[in-house]
Structure 1
Amino acid sequence: MPKSSFTPNSLPNLAGKTFIVTGGNAGVGKSTVAGLANRGARVYLGARNTDKALEAIQDIKGSLEQPDADIVYLPLDLQSFRSVVEAAQLIKSKETSLYGLVNNAGIMGVPFALTQDGYETQFQTNYLSHWLLTYHLLPLLEATSSSSPIGQVRVVNLTSDGHQRFTVQEGIRFSDPELKNEPAMTRYGHSKLANILHTKQLHRLHGAWLVTAAVHPGHIDTDLNKKATGMVPPAVLRVMVPVMKCAGVLDTQANGALSSLYAVASPEFTDAGAYIVPYAKIGSASDAAMDSALAEKLWSWTAQRLQEWL
C-alpha cells in the first residue's frame, strides 16, 4: 500500500473546534472521528442507528489517549431528506461554529432499490443527501470562516477511484439518475463522480473562504465490501473479502482515514478543491470529474430536484 509521512498525530491541537463526520459509527468514518477527537475536537458522529452510534462512541473513547473525548451522536438517516434537514437544524441550534464537515457515509454495490424520497439508494446516500446537508450547513461554515484564520473551515467529500472505473458515457445521466438497468457498481461510480463534481462546484462558488477536497480513501477492509451483494452473491463475498485482506488488497480502516484527516484539519493541506488519494497525497481525477460545465449543471439540477428541502 502507498505510504505517507502524515499521521493523525501530525494534526494540530483542535480544542475548541467542532467537526461533523457522517457514517462515523463504523469503518473509515469511525477512525476519522477517533483521529479528530484525539486531538481535542468536538466531533458529531452522524449515524442512522442510535444503538450502534452510542456503542461506537464508547469504543472510540476507550481506544483514545483521552477517554473524556468530546463525541456527540447526531441522528442522521441519509436515505431520508427530512432526516438530513433535521440534523442540520439541530447542529445550527446547538453550535455557533463549525470547522469541518466530512461527508464520509456511503454504500457500495448494493442491489437496486429506491429510497422513501424516490431516488436510487446509492445516489441519494452517497451524493444527494450529502449535498443537501452541506447546503444547509454552509451559513454556519461561512460564519465560522469570517472569524477564523483563512483556510481553517473545510468540507471533505469521500469519493472513490470507482468514479473512473465504473462510468456511463455522459458522466452523469440526468435523464435517468436511477440507472436501474445498469450494474450495481456503475450506479456506485455514478454517485462517486457526483461527489467530486460537488467538491469542484463548492470550490468554484465558495473557494474564497471554504477549503474543499474530494478524498479517495483507498481500498479498505470495511463492511462496504461485505454488503456489495449487487455486485456478487453473498457467498462469494464471504470468501473474497478475507482473501483480499490477506493479499494486501484491502488496507486497514485507520489508514483509510488518513486522507480525510489530512484534508479536513491539517495545515499541510493547501490545495483547495483537490482530489486526494492514498494516503494524504494529491492525485488526478477523471476528465469527467474535472469538467466545470458538468459540475455546474449537476449543481443546478440537484438544487432544482431538492427545491422543497432547501
Structure 2
Amino acid sequence: MTGLKFSPDSLPNLSGRVFLVTGGNAGIGMATVAGLASKGAKVYIGARNPDKARKAIDDIKQSLAKPEAEILPLLLDLQDFASVVNAANLLKSKETALHGLVNNAGIMGVPFALTKNGYEAQFQTNYLSHWLLTYHLLPLLVATAPCAGLGEVRIVNVTSDGHERFAPTAGICFSDPSLEAESSMTRYGHSKLANILHIAQLHALHGRENPCLVVAAVHPGHIDTNLNKQATAMAPSAFLRAMVPLMKCAGILDNQAKGALSSLYAIASPEFTESGAYVVPYAKIGTPSKAASDGELAGKLWDWTLRELQDWIAM
C-alpha cells in the first residue's frame, strides 16, 4: 500500500487497544481520536479544559453514530509540569496497557511568554511537556509491547516542516532555549525540531533493540486548525481569521481529516513499520532536515532535557 492509498478505513480492528491523544479535543487531534475510535479503540483525550473535552467526545460519538465508543477525558495542561505528571500517573492507575501515545497538542506563532515553570511557552507546550509525558508513560508502553502484536505499540510526535523552515541554523539553542530575541516562528521551529530529535533518540534507545516498540515523527501538512488563528505574534487575529478561508480556497490549507491521515497511519496502520521515520503528507515517508537527522544532537538534547526536568522525572 502506498501512502496515497491510505485511509482510516484501512486500519484494522483496534478493539482492546488503548491510546492517548494530547490535544484530542480539537483540530487534527480530534480527527485522530475519531479515526481510532471508529475502529473500536479506547481513546483518552488529553486536554486542559474538561468541558471542551466532554463536548469533543459527544461530537465524535455523534459523528461516528457510535454512542458506545470508548472515549475518555484526561486532564492535561502542557504548560504545567505538575499537570503532566499527574495525568501520566492517573492514566497508569486506570490502565494496565497502553498501545499508542500521540503527542499531538501544540501552539504556533504566539507572542513570547514564559510558563509557570519558567520555559518559553512554545518550547514547553510542544516539546518539554510531551517529553515528560512520554518519559512517565514509557514503562507502561514498553510493558505492553511483548503482549501485543509485533509493532503494535507506538509513539508518535506531531511535528511540522517548520522544523526546517524556521528553526535556528545552529539547531537547538541549549544556552538560550527561550529565544526571546528571536521571532515567534523561530521559537516554533525550534520546538518542532526538538520533537523530531526526541523521536530519533527514542528510536536509538528503544526502537532498535525492541521491534515491538515503533516510534515516528509526523508532519501533518498545512491544515486549517486553530493554530492558524493563534499565531497573533505574526499578524492581528482579525487578519488571520480573514486569511484562513482564502488560503483554503487557494488550496494552501487542507481540512482536518486530511491532517490526521499521517498520524493515523503512523500510530495504527500495520503498513507502517519503519520505526524512527519522518512521515509527511499524506502517509508517506519523508526526509527531515539535516539538523533533525543529527544523532549526536538528538543525544545531546536528551541528556540536556534529563537534567532540566530531573525534579519532575523523580515524581
TM-score (normalised: structure 1): 0.98
Q: Report the 3-state secondary structure (helix = DSSP H, G, I; strand = E; otherwise coil) of the residue aligned with 1:257.
A: helix
Q: What are the Cα deviations for residues 148-176 of structure 1, in whole angstroms up to 9, with x where unaligned?
A: 22211000000000000002121000000
Tell me which moved more, 140-149 or 255-264. Answer: 140-149
For the residue of structure 2 that corresponds to 1:101, the secondary structure is strand
Give runs of aligned pairs for residues 91-170 of structure 1, distance below 5 A.
91-170=91-170
Deviation at 1:202, TM superposition (A): 0.2
Structure 2 residue corresponding to 1:307, chosen from 274, 287, 310:
310
Tell me the equivalent position of 2:7. Answer: 7
Contact 1:203/1:212 (<8 A) preserved: yes
State the distance in 2 between where 1:4 and 1:40 align. 24
| CA distance in structure 2 between the partners assigned to 1:113 and 1:196 by the alignment | 23
Aligned match of 1:28: 28
> Identity across aligned pairs (percent)?
70
Which of 294, 297, 303 is the aligned partner of 2:297?
A: 294
Cα distance between partner residues in 1 of 2:287 and 2:264: 19
Q: Is 1:274 the counterpart of 2:277 in the alignment?
A: yes
Who is 1:262 aligned against? 265
* Structure 1 position 250 matched with structure 2 position 253: yes
Give the whole-Å Cα distance in 1 for the aligned partners of 2:221 and 2:104. Answer: 13
**Equivalent pair of 1:166/1:185 in contact (CA under 8 Å):** yes
1:236 to 213, 236, 239: 239
Whether 1:185 aligns to 2:185 is yes
| Alignment deviations for residues 60-100 of structure 1 (CA, whole Å, 9 cap, x no partner) | 00000422110000000000000000000001100000000
- The answer (yes or no) to whether the contact 1:38–1:65 under 8 Å persists in 2 is no
Deviations 1:264-286 (A, max 9, x none): 00000011100000000000100
Query: How far apart are the structure 1 equivalents of 2:27 and 2:242?
Result: 20
Q: Which residue of 1 aligns with 2:197?
A: 197
The alpha carbon displacement at 1:42 in A equals 0.2
The match for 1:84 is 84
Q: Answer yes or no: is the 8 Å Cα contact 1:258–1:280 preserved in 2.
A: yes
Q: Which residue of 2 aligns with 1:215?
A: 218
CA offsets, 1:99-120, max 9 Å, x none?
Answer: 0000000000000000000000
Q: Summarize deviations over 1:167-206 as a string: whole Å, max 9, x none.
A: 2121000000000000000000000000000000000000
- Across the two proteins, how many residue pairs are aligned to each other? 309
Deviations along 1:25-44, one digit per CA (max 9) or x if unpaired, are 00000000000001000000
Partner of residue 226 from structure 1, selected from 225, 229, 253: 229
Give 1:257's aligned amino acid: A
Q: Deviations over 1:206-265 (max 9, x none)?
A: 012310000000000001001100111223212221110111110000010000000000
Aligned equivalents of 2:56 and 2:276: distance in 1?
Answer: 31
- Partner letter of residue 94 of structure 1? K
Paired with 1:44 and 1:76, the residues of 2 have a C-alpha distance of 11
- Give me the whole-angstrom Cα distance separating, in 1, the residues matched to 2:140 and 2:237: 43
- Give 5+ residue unaligned stretches, structure 1: none
- Deviating runs (4+, > 6 A) in structure 1? none
Partner SS state of residue 4, structure 1: helix
| Higher mean C-alpha deviation, range 237-246 or range 32-41 | 237-246
Q: Distance in 1 between matches of 2:188 and 2:197?
A: 15
* AA aligned opposite 1:133: L
Q: Tell me, what secondary structure is at the counterpart of 2:240?
A: helix
Following the alignment from structure 1 to structure 2, what is the Cα–Cα distance between the partners of residues 171 and 110?
Answer: 20
TM-score by length of 2: 0.97
User: Do the aligned residues in 2 keep the contact of 1:197 with 1:298 (CA within 8 Å)?
Assistant: yes
Distance 1:299 1:183 in 2: 25
Secondary structure at the aligned position of 2:4 is classed as coil
Deviation at 1:287, TM superposition (A): 0.3
- Cα RMSD after superposing both structures: 1.1
What amino acid sits opposite 1:108 in the alignment?
A: M
For structure 2, the 5+ residue unaligned runs are none
Contact 1:262 1:269 in 2 (8 A): yes
